[in-house]
Amino acid sequence: MNEHAEIFELLPQYAAGQLTAAQKQAVDRHLAGCDACRAELAFWQDVSGVVKANPVQAAAPRAVLQAALAEIRAEQQRTSLFAHVWQVLKSQVPLVRSEIWSASFLVLILGFIVTLVADKAAAFYAIAPVVSAAGLALLYGGKQDAAFELTLATPTSQVEILLARSLLVFAYNLLLTILISLGLAAVYSVSTVGLLISEWIAPMTFLSALGLGISVIAGSENAILVIYLIWLSRYLMMTSVARKFFGSGAQIMLNFWQSNAILYGLSALMFLCVIVSLKSHSGTARQLSNRQ
């Protein structure tokens, strides 16, 4: 039986104050780094509080007791899940490279200015997807996280950490782009801006998932290079030279970028592959860390 399982079994006695001083110290040390055990302890403390507040002599029917315990546990799990998700998201904000926030903002503002000067609304939406994708490509790994070794040793899984960071950066870029689009709507028609947004979100999601996946496997520099080249190829396929050279292949490529269902489906598949790869990688990393 490992340490986590041993501590887990001691939690009811801990809540009831029945442990020895040495056992209590061991449990306290473990609780400092284990969210699951803290949630379980909170459940047993709730049970202990109910018992102390209602010291009746008659035993409750077993079915009633089980139903009450199930209700308490379900409520505790709902509360713990929300608190856990919020805690993970909040804890990752300062760990994301600070340049991502400022660089995304400055590049998108620059794209907004260029759009107004060139008087082409599509110019802004040519920039936005790769900004988000580049941000996600810089989220994970020793070069991107100064505390990467410490991150591997935390009780929070690497999948949760990466998903939290991805959600934060993706939502940040999405919000920025929508807000800047409201500014463009004051110059161009709302219908024109709305159409461009609908055509932009799916490629942004696809490139972000692709950039994240490549960065986990081959590094951030390679990921950024690939997503820029892929996105550039979309515009090259619009030229007469590319249409003449690639023929129907150029149109197939353009149709691909307009197929939102395909782009979202591939994005989901890539995120799933990233999770599977990360679980395998983080498991190996933890084993090596424990040996050292």
Q: What are phi and psi of 129, to 5 degrees?
A: -60, -40
pLDDT at 24 over 60: yes
Mean residue pLDDT across the chain: 79
More confident residue, 172 or 56: 172
Domain ranges of the chain: 3-90, 95-291
Other C-beta atoms lying within 10 Å of the C-beta of residue 281:
15
pLDDT at 233 over 70: yes
**In 135-238, where do the E strands start and end?**
none
- Is residue 242 within 8 Å of residue 122, measured between CB atoms? no
4-8, 64-68, 91-95, 109-113: range with lowest mean pLDDT: 64-68
pLDDT at 75 over 70: no
- Report pLDDT for 285: 46
Task: Please report which confidence band the pLDDT of residue 57 belongs to, taking 50, 70 and 90 as the band edges.
Answer: very low
Q: Give the residue from 135, 141, 133 showing the smallest Cα distance to 158.
A: 141
More confident residue, 166 or 121: 166
- Report pLDDT for 269: 94
- Is residue 10 within 8 Å of residue 19, measured between CB atoms? yes
Q: Give the residue from 142, 139, 137 showing the smallest Cα distance to 164.
A: 139
pLDDT at 58 over 60: no
Q: What are the structure tokens assigned to 271, written together? A: 């995120």
More confident residue, 177 or 43: 177
What is the tens place of the pLDDT at every residue in 149-195?
445 555 567 778 888 888 899 999 999 998 988 888 888 888 878 87
